[in-house]
């Protein structure tokens, strides 16, 4: 990494220009359009429901209202936006600190089930450095949460890294374990293309619950028994655990700033990811804010 890039990573970033796209909501099945707009320093990531009086919903763990199969955020007026984790992962992975995400419905488009289409949008819009330094959340001591055989932890560490372990009975997935240090483009290169996945036998039940109405082989890896139903197969042999890492990166960005430390998940889902961020914030001795420094680029999430 050149000194020029390191120096630019000290500063907050937003988009150079507005950019948008349309797609299908995974759970509603409705077509939805989004626009990513540049925002001033210290804005953070803010979702704006243009179909609900331009209601703003800041992307922060305090605003999580539901975690069933996706992350749903809401404001004090009851306006919500769901399935935000893939876009948040792309924004984290591309080093975007400040952006307004305008959306004309209650759910983000699922695109191809990964974060790659959002990374492409961000790269097309371009990034611009702003006048204030990035603020990073440094983990000072280990915190952990567990429930029902699921575990998540945050530990001190140089830079931001994610480890994840999953274990499914089906031979199509089985046991998968991966660790990734998110620096120098590893999010884009190793994680962003991993797609969400589901099980064919659960589709009818989910749709009765009003979920997965927009799900298809075009936007998810579908497992039936011990087989993958997608004709093209997997993008990676361990695509399932890579997608769990992707979800974790998005959920952890709800801390409101990049994290300097190591996240470890075992069979963790959205609710557990949110819980570990809350556990960190609940202990004032476990973390502190620091400003990003050019000589420590590892503090930063990869600039895709």
Q: Please list the active-site residues.
A: 270
Q: Nearest Cα to 17, choosing from 87, 100, 93, 132? A: 100
- DSSP string spanning 53-121? TTEEEE--GGGEEE-SSS-EEE-TTS-EEE--HHHHHHHHHTT--BEEEEESSSB-B-TTSSSHHHHHH
Rounded to whole angstroms, the Cα distance separating 126 from 123 reads: 5
List the structure tokens of 302.
């990869």
Coil, helix or strand at residue 239: helix
Query: Can you tell me whether residue 208 is helix, strand or coil?
Result: helix
């Amino acid at each position: 990494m050149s000194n020029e890039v390191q120096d630019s990573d000290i500063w907050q970033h937003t988009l150079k220009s507005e950019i948008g796209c349309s797609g299908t909501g995974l759970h509603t099945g409705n077509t939805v359009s989004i626009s990513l707009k540049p925002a001033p320093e210290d804005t953070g990531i803010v979702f704006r429901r243009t179909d609900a009086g331009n209601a703003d919903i800041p992307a922060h763990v305090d605003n999580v209202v539901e975690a069933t199969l996706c992350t749903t955020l809401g404001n004090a007026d009851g306006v919500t936006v769901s399935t935000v984790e893939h876009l948040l992962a792309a924004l984290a992975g591309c080093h975007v600190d400040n952006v307004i995400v305008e959306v004309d419905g209650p759910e983000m488009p699922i695109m191809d089930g990964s974060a790659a289409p959002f990374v492409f949008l961000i790269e097309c819009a371009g990034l611009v450095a702003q006048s204030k330094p990035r603020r990073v959340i440094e983990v000072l001591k280990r915190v952990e949460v567990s429930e029902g055989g699921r575990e998540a932890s945050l530990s001190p560490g140089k830079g931001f890294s994610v480890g994840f372990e999953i274990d499914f009975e089906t031979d199509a997935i089985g046991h998968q374990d991966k660790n990734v240090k998110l620096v120098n483009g590893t999010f884009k290169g190793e994680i962003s293309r991993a797609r969400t996945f589901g099980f064919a036998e659960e589709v009818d039940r989910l749709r009765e619950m009003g979920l997965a109405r927009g799900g298809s082989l075009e936007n998810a890896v579908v497992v039936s028994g011990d087989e993958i139903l997608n004709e093209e197969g997997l993008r990676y042999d361990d695509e399932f655990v890579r997608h769990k890492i992707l979800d974790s990166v998005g959920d952890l960005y709800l801390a409101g700033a990049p994290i300097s430390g190591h996240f470890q998940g075992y069979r963790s889902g959205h609710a557990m990811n949110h819980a570990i961020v809350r556990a960190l914030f609940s202990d004032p001795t476990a973390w502190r804010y620091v400003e990003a420094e050019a000589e420590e680029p590892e503090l930063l999430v990869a600039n895709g």
